Structure 1
Amino acid sequence: MMPKEYGVMLTSLLLALAMTPDAALAQCAAGNLNPAVPASAPLTEFDEQGDGSLLHRRTRLIWQRCALGQTWDGAACTGAPSLMDWTTALLAAASTGQGGDPIWRLPNRNELASIVEQRCFSPALDADAFPAAPAVAYWTSTPVSDGGEQVWIVEFGDGATFAAPTDALQAVRLVRDLP
């Protein structure tokens, strides 16, 4: 039997969720959802671009839906992300989209953190916006000031941001500015 105060809290939470428009709620992979946390980067903030990328209206940035090494099949990302050190990640970003295509780059720390869905975990991304996204760490372009050979990464298992050595192997999600 549940103590009365838990029943009251659960009823309040369910009532709050019922009053929240479905479009504003983030969709979490495998039901990995914290219903007490408001959606921070749901699909409703993104516009599909028809080429495996999304425009994040709030930041005016265009994101690749898949990590480097994965392929967009029109519905989800397939394959495994390529893990690389930071120098290789910078070179891979610089060589993506040449020949008239948009120029992709590594996002800075704040840009990458802007797509973290605080309501979700494993991965901390909206599953409709970034389907089949691996819950791994991704490089940013932001070095740690006075951190020696360290760069900020965003861990999409839980959305945390922390420093990693530049020779560590991480995934890469590219971004570009709106033309």
Structure 2
Amino acid sequence: MTLALAAPAVTAQTCRDAVPATRPDSRFITDRDGTVRDLNTGLMWKRCVEGLSGMGCERGKPRLLTWKSAMQQGRHTVFAGYADWRLPDQTELASLVEARCYGIELDAVSFPNTPAERFWTSTPAPYYENSAWMLHFGHSAISFGTESDVGFVRLVRDRAACSPASPQFCVIR
């Protein structure tokens, strides 16, 4: 028997203009290499959710991963000339939430086609062994997932991490 999972629907985003943006568009710089630089945190994000590609993240299908697989995904990813991608911690992932929007609660221009679903963080949850915190981008809820749960992944890196001082993370373009 084959179990087919439907691709998650991308939820329409509605933003309340009367509410000031918590994450203004000027904060994020979208680069042609498929990355987004956050000028406030100094982090560099993969623009697309794992499994998607293209400038508008229009190709492919978002991948659902267990926490263990999500952690490994970051360690084994080489993208845009960098090999030091990782799963974000709870605070880093929550820094993307745009509170004035609903449907999908993040900058949908900088991060297109993001499912309004649960995303893994690298932050362990204290409830069960091998559990971690997850953030739901549909309604900004924080919950935890166990080793049998699946979630989506958006990878991040520290922009300054790939340097002559840490050449093991650098990839020559």
Q: Same fold (TM over 0.5)?
A: yes
Counterpart among 103, 109, 124 of residue 90 in structure 2: 109
1:140 matched to which residue of 2? Answer: 121
1:63 aligned residue (45, 50, 73): 45
Matched residue of 1:145: which SS?
coil
**Cα contact 2:67–2:131 (8 A) shared by 1:** no
Q: Distance in 1 between matches of 2:17 and 2:30?
A: 26
Higher helix share: 1
Match 2:148 to one of 164, 167, 174:
167
Alpha-carbon distance change, 104 to 31 in structure 1, aligned in 2, over 3 angstroms = closer
AA matched with 1:45:
R
- Hey, what does 1:150 align to over in structure 2? 131
Contact 1:65 1:77 (8 Å CA) reproduced: no
From the superposition, tell whether residues 164 and 146 of structure 1 become closer, same or farther in structure 2 (CA, over 3 Å): closer
For the pair shown, the structure with the greater C-alpha radius of gyration is 1
174 and 36 in structure 1: CA distance in 2 versus 1, 3 angstrom threshold: same
> What TM-score results when the alignment is normalised by the length of structure 1?
0.76
Change (3 A) 1:114 1:77: farther
Cα displacement (A) at 1:95: 0.5
Which residue in the other structure is 1:32 paired with?
14
CA–CA distance in structure 1, aligned partners of residues 86 and 58 of structure 2: 19
Closer, same or farther: CA 79–119 of 1 in aligned 2, 3 Å: farther
Say what the alpha-carbon RMSD is for the aligned residues: 1.9
Q: CA deviation at 1:34?
A: 3.3
